[in-house]
Structure 1
Amino acid sequence: MENNVVIYQSNDGLVKMEAIVDASNETIWATQKAIGHLLGVDRSVITRHLSNIFKEEELDKKVVCAKFAQTTPHGAIVGEFQTRDVQFYNLDAIISVGYRVNSRKATAFRQWATSVLKQYMIKGYAVNQNAVSEQKYEDLKRALGLLENVFGQNLIMAEEQAKELFAVVKDYTYALDTLDAYDYQNLEITDTTLQEKFRATYESAMEAIQSLKEKFKESPLFGVEKDKSFHSSIGQIYQTWDAQELYPSVEEKAAMLLYLVVKNHSFVDGNKRIAATLFLWFLQNNGILYRPDGTKRIADGTLVALTLLIAESRMDEMDILVKVVVNLINRKQ
């Protein structure tokens, strides 16, 4: 193990986090004092939160705590040193406490953690220009395994969308396997549904949006159009070239509808929710939302994550993201 390695530093450089790196167990260890300094609170606050974490059985104290010998200057004898056992807490405990503490520094830490993990997921998984390497694939799964418990609890969250994103990524096994198996530039669209039972129109889509607004008592601005771009989004999924449809299958049309509604920002409020709802609405009306065994082709959580990934993507990544969506809902699933 390596001692006193700086693993975190605030943007202003005033707050640093030193910890013992335990490479063999893929974790780090820090004292309550160090955690308190990181989050800008007294050690007693850290003690209280850890006590609640163990009481609620969020974490197992025997697993996340360990005592290490620490040598410090003797308080009473000048020039002498003393060695004593000090309680340390691993990464699971540090993150769990970090999402409970309510302080400015804790908020900065949460924003940093969310940003790092979100960017890692986006760059290493969804919109990277290279295939996900086996090591990144395994690293991502380990990181998500750690976050599954943390983000699943009723904790103070830096941003609600991050909570949704990380809480559902465990449903991504098929998607990860798909992207691990193929180079992004070689993803193919296969096993799709060519026969349509339903053709979306602007009017029918707006009716679906209005129903959503009434059902969930959304804000007055929800579903209010900013411009005419939503007309274009509906028309674009049926676009043709030389008498041939550009998106011939139901799955491709659904994927494009999801992408366009997210990216065009046609509404004053609710663009992502509207996009996800219309995506499911389109699949349902075409009779392919469910598999023959009655299960959904795409989990609600996975759809949330896809919607967020599309929102974060660059415009030149449209084709690959559409292919990813199709590969998640085609008949091969």
Structure 2
Amino acid sequence: MKNNEKNNIVIYEGAEGQPQIEVRIEGETVWLTQAQLVALFQSSKANISEHIKHIFEEGELQRVSVVRKFRITAKDGKKYNIEHYNLDLIISLGYRIKSQIATKFRIWATKRLKEYLIKGFTMDDERLKNLGGGNYWKELLDRIRDIRSSEKVLYRQVLDLYATSVDYNPKSKQSIEFFKIVQNKLHYAT
């Protein structure tokens, strides 16, 4: 997107549908000002500043990677270079700030992380259904196609299906011969 374009997205929604923050999306990341971070996490400017300072001091993130100045036109019509913070810093703040909304963020993020660790993936179903996934839709389809064509995955699916038969014995000559044939066919197909 162009530098001056903004998108309205919901980072996460509370019971009242808040907060909905107008954000800058550039370089495949989200950028928020300090004022937007204060609104997002319902915290004070001093608290946000203190946590950002600690994030850098502790080496969790490097300032050069997560802070960028954008030229903004203020209400007075003048242009100012305002610091914006990217998604990496926003997530780090969400794990440090003590507020109800930050707690909701941590619950949401932990669910996504748990889903990823257990299933190996996490998806925003509503975004994919309603927006078509944007440019990521093709990437998602390509990755699924690649995974499905993996010999190991396909071989495991055949084994799972074959193992459901009542008389399945993994050490029988018939089973061993069957899997040799399947493996040969898979090698031929790829």
Q: What TM-score, normalized by structure 1, do the two folds share?
A: 0.38
1:1-333 to 2 correspondence within 5 Å? Answer: 1=1, 2-8=5-11, 9-22=13-26, 25-74=27-76, 81-116=77-112, 118-119=114-115, 125=121, 135-136=139-140, 181=150, 187-189=157-159, 241-242=166-167, 245=169, 248=170
Task: Name the stretch that deviates more: 2-11 or 114-123.
Answer: 114-123
> How many Å separate the matches in 2 of 1:16 and 1:54?
27
Give the letter for the 1:114 counterpart. Answer: T
Describe the shift of the 1:102–1:180 C-alpha distance in structure 2 as closer, same or farther (beyond 3 A): farther
Q: Secondary structure at the match of 2:98?
A: coil
Describe the shift of the 1:137–1:39 C-alpha distance in structure 2 as closer, same or farther (beyond 3 A): farther
Q: Secondary structure at the match of 1:28?
A: strand
CA shift, 1:114, in A, is 3.0
> How many Å separate the matches in 2 of 1:40 and 1:138?
40
Give the letter for the 2:17 counterpart. Answer: G
> How many Å separate the matches in 2 of 1:44 and 1:34?
13
> How many Å separate the matches in 2 of 1:46 and 1:114?
21
Q: Which runs of 4+ in 1 moved over 6 A?
A: 120-124
> How many Å separate the matches in 2 of 1:41 and 1:180?
48
> Structure 1: where are the runs of 5+ without partners?
75-80, 127-132, 140-176, 191-239, 250-333
Give the letter for the 1:109 counterpart. Answer: F
Q: Secondary structure at the match of 1:35?
A: helix
Kept after mapping to 1: 8 A contact 2:8/2:20: no
Give the letter for the 1:181 counterpart. Answer: S
Give the letter for the 1:45 counterpart. Answer: N
Q: What TM-score, normalized by structure 2, do the two folds share?
A: 0.62
CA shift, 1:112, in A, is 2.2
> How many Å separate the matches in 1 of 2:138 and 2:149?
7
CA shift, 1:59, in A, is 0.6
> How many Å separate the matches in 2 of 1:105 and 1:180?
42
Partner in structure 2 of residue 217 of structure 1: none
> How many Å separate the matches in 2 of 1:115 and 1:31?
26
Give the letter for the 2:53 counterpart. Answer: S
Describe the shift of the 1:180–1:41 C-alpha distance in structure 2 as closer, same or farther (beyond 3 A): farther
CA shift, 1:10, in A, is 2.5
Describe the shift of the 1:21–1:180 C-alpha distance in structure 2 as closer, same or farther (beyond 3 A): farther
Describe the shift of the 1:125–1:71 C-alpha distance in structure 2 as closer, same or farther (beyond 3 A): closer
Describe the shift of the 1:12–1:52 C-alpha distance in structure 2 as closer, same or farther (beyond 3 A): same
> How many Å separate the matches in 1 of 2:100 and 2:140?
32
> How many Å separate the matches in 2 of 1:32 and 1:138?
38
> How many Å separate the matches in 2 of 1:28 and 1:138?
25
Q: Deviations over 1:44-72 (max 9, x none)?
A: 11111110010011111011000111111
> How many Å separate the matches in 1 of 2:8 and 2:20?
10
Kept after mapping to 2: 8 A contact 1:10/1:109: no
Describe the shift of the 1:50–1:135 C-alpha distance in structure 2 as closer, same or farther (beyond 3 A): same
CA shift, 1:14, in A, is 2.6
> How many Å separate the matches in 2 of 1:134 and 1:182?
22
CA shift, 1:135, in A, is 2.4
Q: Deviations over 1:175-217 (max 9, x none)?
A: xx86662596663449xxxxxxxxxxxxxxxxxxxxxxxxxxx
